[in-house]
Structure 1
Amino acid sequence: MIDDDTVRLAGIFIPYFRDKRIFAKDNGQRFAHYTSAESAIKMLDKGEVWLRKSSVMNDFSEIEFGFSNLHAAWNSPAGLKLKNLLDSMFEGSVKTIENMFDQEIANIRSGTFLTCISEHDHLKEEHVYGRLSMWRAYGNVALVLRPDVFMRETTGVLQAYSNPVDYHTPQSFQVAFANIVANVKNEFAYLQAQGGQMVWSWMLFMMRQMLICTKHKGFSEEKEWRIIHTPSQDKSPLIRNEIEVIRGVAQPVVKLKLQNVPEAELTGLDIPSFIERVIIGPTQHPWVQREAFATILEKKGVADPYGRIVISDIPLRQ
């Protein structure tokens, strides 16, 4: 059970991320991973999810977008106000935080592995058709996921966590940053009582979240979340690092095994529990793909595999 101080600190430093996670958990939020049929079959057959470096994905420019906005905010009038608050709270705070961030930034840029999923409305037509914009952008199969295992207060043995993407223009980012500064001002006495190390750690965590999980407002219809792992910081028996060649590029890949670890109280990660539905999107041979996915699901222990598969008849111009 998450403690009251953690909830309060998250509300101060990362209010958007905290509120989105609470809403998702309380409302049984489902997610969809839109991908190619080839990648989806590999994921199910091997029973693993691949997390890739942001630097070889579309997301690298987005991390730079987060960095440029954070840099601008840190040096804005709101940023100056925050620095004054921190230094008056604990002498030398700003220098300490900046040194911590400088040491962390290279690891964030090159040592962070992630995969992307999208919020999925399992109570509406999207559960049958999928989302047109995602079919156009990312592939012809959607794996609908039950994300309970990634919504827990601590990832424990898993050592991978999920976070929503926050969509901004440069202007709205500054507003969100100024709101956090106001939170720090309003909670000054409480934060001072927590001690410098606690406050510095939360400041670094806030900056990390802003870098990894900020995208331009124009992408907001993707409703994206990211599953994130940092090998240099987190170790897990379910995660291994290997080299793969993807689209002609040799690269390190983090592979997360889809299996339960009952002795570590990790459940809900096996394929029958984790994969709620397969939506086959616009494709030339939907019924052939349906048979292929049913065969894989049955092999992985899914009862009534055909009952888990839906063929979307959404028309998509080729």
Structure 2
Amino acid sequence: MAIPDFQLSSDAEEVVRIISKGTKGPEHDAFLADESCYFAHYTSAETVKNVIESRGVFMRNTRLMNDHSEVRHGFALVRQALESGVGARYLEAWAEIDERVARAIPNVLKSAEEDIAQQCYVLSVCEHREPDDRDGKLSMWRAYGNGELRVAVIAKTTNAMRLVDDGIVVTPVLYGGESEVNEELEYKSNVVFNHRHIFKDLDVTNKVMFAIGILVNFAVSIKHKGFVEEREWRYIYMKSFQTAAMEAQRKSVVLGGVPQIVYKLPISVPADENYAPETQFLKGLILGPCAESETIKDGLVELLRQNGFDDPETYVSASSIPYRLRM
């Protein structure tokens, strides 16, 4: 499946953005434009330290994340939809562009699914709205009380979106089951059909890759509706659709004692020589419920101070949600 460097025209990239936003595109655009809205990345205190000191946010393989089973669940729903009347509409849209692509889609998706699932790298963030979420989301403080310190990295949406490089798709998560997936696939089918002229000049390999890429990114961004409170977005990179820009950011690291491959989204901090304040992605850090929160908060403040942040104490707060020791 992999090709040396998967490239799209600017027009095709715009279609990717339209497709990725999905049926709730206007709602998601309003969120990104709202100055009281941010992205929150819930992670460990250790990872926050790695992000600041290594000057990068890591996209991790879904096999090493809580979300791995969700990826397989998403693929099952997309396969099911593709075999339905809605799926026929998707194939028809591609047949209007190139009949060879429509014929190839079902078999290519089936044969490549396992490989793609094994080579999927994701960064998950949640919608964060001030002042409602100033303590963080209770559902996202998972595993607190078991000894691991949790921190929410609050990022400015505009600058967080600037982290996107060639080959990355940013998409809101779809919460739901069969009916919601069918509705979304119908929307994507219509977008492809309405912009079919953009893809006519692509060679057949890139057409197939694009058609499969839409389905894969869709499958990776589906979750059960029980998690809707999270309001998650995902940065997705598929090594099967690799680009030179992203492969240059491939790193080997040890996280939580586990050696692994990650893809790094570079950031800069005030201590850097070429730092530009207007690109500052960090709005703040929220320390999750824990014992001795003031002592730990001081440590996070010092981490920011050592990396050039002025008035670092203004960036760090502690959640007021009560700490409960897990029995």
Q: Please classify the TM superposition score into its range, dividing by the shorter chain length.
A: 0.7 to 0.9
Instruction: Work out whether residues 59 and 264 of structure 2, in 8 Å CA contact, stay in contact via their aligned partners in 1.
Output: yes
Deviation at 1:90, TM superposition (A): 3.0
Deviations along 1:154-198, whole A, 9 cap, x unmatched? 735xx645322111112321232234445556x3xx525751638
**Quick one: structure 1 residues 20 and 52, their matched pair in 2 at CA, closer, same or farther if it must change by over 3 Å?**
farther
- d(CA) in 2 for partners of 1:50, 1:219: 23
C-alpha distance in structure 2 between counterparts of 1:51 and 1:12, whole Å: 22
Aligned residue number for residue 302 of structure 1: 309
Which residue does the alignment assign to 2:171? Answer: 163
1:135 to 127, 137, 141: 141
C-alpha distance after superposition, 1:101-127 (max 9, x if no partner):
457534421122222211111x31312
User: Following the alignment from structure 1 to structure 2, what is the Cα–Cα distance between the partners of residues 8 and 45?
Assistant: 36
Q: 2:58 aligns with which of 31, 50, 53?
A: 50
CA deviations 1:231-285 (Å, max 9, x no partner) are: 56133487232142635x443233444238xxxx996797xx1221111221111
1:92 — aligned with what? 100
Given that 2:55 and 2:266 are in contact with CA atoms closer than 8 Å, whether structure 1 keeps it comes out as yes
Paired residue for 1:281? 288
Matched, 1:252 2:258: no
Candidates 183, 205, 217, aligned match of 1:209:
217
Mapped partners of 1:18, 1:266: distance in 2: 33
Q: Percent identity?
A: 25
Cα pair 1:17 1:164 within 8 Å, conserved: no
RMSD of Structure 2 on Structure 1 (CA) = 3.4
Q: CA 1:250–1:10 in structure 2 vs 1: closer, same or farther (change >3 Å)?
A: closer
Cα distance, 1:100–1:148 mapped onto 2, change above 3 Å: farther
- Pick closer, same or farther for the CA change 1:173–1:35 going to 2, 3 Å: same
On the 8 A contact 1:114/1:226 being kept in 2, the answer is yes
Contact 2:71 2:220 in 1 (8 A): yes
Alignment of 1:33-48 (within 5 A): 33-48=41-56
**Contact persistence 1:116–1:226 (CA under 8 A):** yes
Preserved CA contact (<8 Å) 1:241 1:254 = yes
Q: What runs of 5+ residues in structure 1 fail to find an aligned partner? A: none
Match of residue 195 from structure 1: 200
* 1:103-252 equivalent positions in 2, closer than 5 A: 104-121=112-129, 123-127=130-134, 129-137=135-143, 140-152=150-162, 155=165, 160-182=168-190, 187=194, 191-192=196-197, 194-195=199-200, 197=202, 200=208, 202-231=210-239, 233-236=242-245, 239-244=249-254, 246-247=256-257, 249-252=258-261
Instruction: Provide Cα deviations, 1:278-311, integer angstroms capped at 9, x if missing partner.
Output: 1122111111112111111011111100111112
Q: What whole-Å deviation, never above 9, does each CA across 1:19-78 have from its counterpart, x for those lacking one?
A: 465334322441111222233233323333232211121111111111101110111122
Native 8 Å contact 1:34 1:140 kept in 2: yes
Contact 1:90 1:196 in 2 (8 A): no
Tell me, yes or no, if structure 1 residue 60 matches structure 2 residue 65. Answer: no
- For the 8 Å contact 2:217–2:236, the answer to whether it is kept is no
Change (3 A) 1:218 1:267: farther
Distance (Å, rounded) in 2 between the aligned partners of 1:278 and 1:164: 22
- Give the Cα–Cα distance (whole angstroms) in 2 for the partners of residues 153 and 95 of structure 1: 36
Conservation of the 8 A alpha-carbon contact between 1:280 and 1:286: yes
Whole-angstrom CA distance in 1 between matches of 2:305 and 2:66: 34
Q: Partner of 2:141: helix, strand, or coil?
A: helix
> Which amino acid is the alignment partner of residue 139 of structure 2?
S
After alignment, is 294-303 or 19-28 more displaced? 19-28
Gaps of 5+ in 2: 1-8
Is this contact kept in 2: 1:54–1:113, CA < 8 A? Answer: yes
